[in-house]
Chain A
Amino acid sequence: MSILVIAEHENGSLKGATLNTVAAAQQIGGDIDLLVAGSGCGAVAEEAAKVNGVAKVLLADADCYNHQLAENMAQLVAELASGYSHILAAATTTGKNFMPRVAAVLDVAQISDIVAVESADTFKRPIYAGNAIATVQSSDSVKVVTVRSTGFEPVDTDGSASVETLSAVHDAGVSSFVKEELAKSDRPELTSAGVIISGGRGMGNGENFAMLERVADKLGAAVGASRAAVDAGFVPNDMQVGQTGKIVAPDLYIAVGISGAIQHLAGMKDSKFIVAINKDEEAPIFQVADYGLVADLFDVIPELEQKL
């Protein structure tokens, strides 16, 4: 068996989710090749070559792979697919975008967002917003799989694979990149942070998130938000934790002024420790919290900042 993992990268560096995806590939077992596709991504390939457990890095460097447009990526990956039994990518917005397209080109089903590998053809994945876990077995010749990064421990980066440059250039010519507006943040990325402090509707307004940021700075934490806080316009939507936002599993998740709707819990209930700070003692968040504090967040958060 051999497995093709598609590397997630941006701005010239490999993203952490790739390391979790390789970990899932190792559990399946077999030779693992890592595909780095992009434009001007030679440095990423060098970085990818250090990922443990990778036999070979394939580098597809061409303008048409810039921003990994689904139409072009799908053609590239489908062409490479014949040599592999499994194709894996991280279940990020990039992976979710092009992988089903790859699967359809290959006429196989895709298995989305796996959280565990049972065997080479059997995987576990959450359904119904994480309220049930399905074990599914694939009968397809090629398994196209996206991997939930919080389900797997990342592999180390002290390996030394060889890099092979691909000459393939696939430009479907039906889509083009216009612009991007990326949210700027000096704090750790939500999906890889060890500690996350999130605010909900109870924060009252966007300015009050500064209180959470000050606590986050003391903890080296990322700041997240519930969908209610995003919909109310308090913070941008890339901070959203939940079924329709980011799925996180940090060591410590502090939910402040968040009631704990199913949608939100689906995004954070695999955190190691959950702390809930809410003045409503009936809030469902207390049912999943390891430590709960029933109090007004406007009293508690400044005190917490002071005592850390």
Chain B
Amino acid sequence: MKVLVAVKRVVDYNVKIRVKSDESDVDLANVKMAMNPFCEIAVEEAVRLKEKGVADEVVVVSMGPKACQEQIRTAMALGADRGIQVETDETLESLAVAKLLAKVVEAEQPGLVILGKQSIDSDNNQTGQMLAALTGMAQGTFASEINIAEETVDVTREVDGGLETLTLKLPAIVTTDLRLNEPRYASLPNIMKAKRKPLDVKTPADFGVDITPRLKTLKVEAPAAREAGILVNSVDELVEKLKNEAKVI
């Protein structure tokens, strides 16, 4: 089967972000960007399915400005066969991404679509579920294990109280949780080879999808800073403070 993986270019997770002084947005000028960590896990799972002989082709798709081709190349260096970029400089909301992905799914007819459970910039946790709704497919969100059978996939999901296993009809949508796998690193020869793999560039207009934002960001502010605390010198002092000063025990 063909596996489609969606990846997003986001600020590197180690970067301590700063809010712009006019509170219009987060300042992303000259900040290191990378593939969203959950997307890396999605790529890794797709490549493992290919190595197991379950998948015969892995297609990676990303949406955004030209720079997101870097992340598509990274995915191809990790083992994806070809890439699709939907190029736009507009800000894309989850619903718009899901609509564009639904068009890509329609064109590519994958047997399985893997996405990360959330991107670490907008923290929305929506796109996979929305894509499932738009394609009418079953969804296995927050997956920590997937097992593909003939016409179904068993997905073990990380839920609040523990784990839950579902059986989904294929084709299906899976979103990855952190414990699904440990992504590999791209080797230098593979990075070189990835440069020659095919990459299709499309635009939202090619798909006839309206990407007008539904939400308006009025303000982005820094969270309230916590007051500086104090260091105590002993357990006795700590217990005393908690009892008499904080009054929480």
Contact = CB atoms under 8 A, between A and B. Distances in A.
A110 B184 CA distance: 33
Nearest to A277: B238
A237 B154 contact: no
Contacts, number: 252
Given A70-B132, A92-B160, A128-B26, A293 B235 contact: yes
A89 B222 CA distance: 26
B36 interface: no
A94 B126 contact: no
A291 B230 contact: yes
B95 A103 contact: yes
Nearest to B127: A100
B130 A104 contact: yes
A133 B40 CA distance: 26
B162 A238 contact: yes
Interface residues of B, number: 80
B221 A133 contact: yes
B146 to A, nearest CB: 13
A175 B242 contact: no
Majority DSSP secondary structure for residues of B touching A: mixed
Interface in A293-308: 293-294, 300, 303-304, 307-308
Interface in A95-128: 96-105, 107-113, 122, 125-128
B231 A179 contact: no
A274 B227 CA distance: 11
Interface residues of A, number: 89
Interface of B: 11, 13, 16-17, 19, 26, 93-95, 98, 120-134, 136-142, 144, 154, 157-169, 172, 177-179, 213-223, 226-236, 238-239, 241-242, 246, 248-249
Contacts of B131: 104
Contacts of A92: 160
Contacts of B218: 122, 135-137
Contact of A98 (B129, B238, B241): B129
Nearest to A244: B178
A74 interface: yes
B121 A127 contact: yes
Interface string A176-211: 111111110000000100010000000000000000
A129 interface: yes
A291 B158 CA distance: 33
B171 to A, nearest CB: 10
Contact of B134 (A104, A133, A181, A272): A104
A131 interface: yes
B126 A127 contact: no
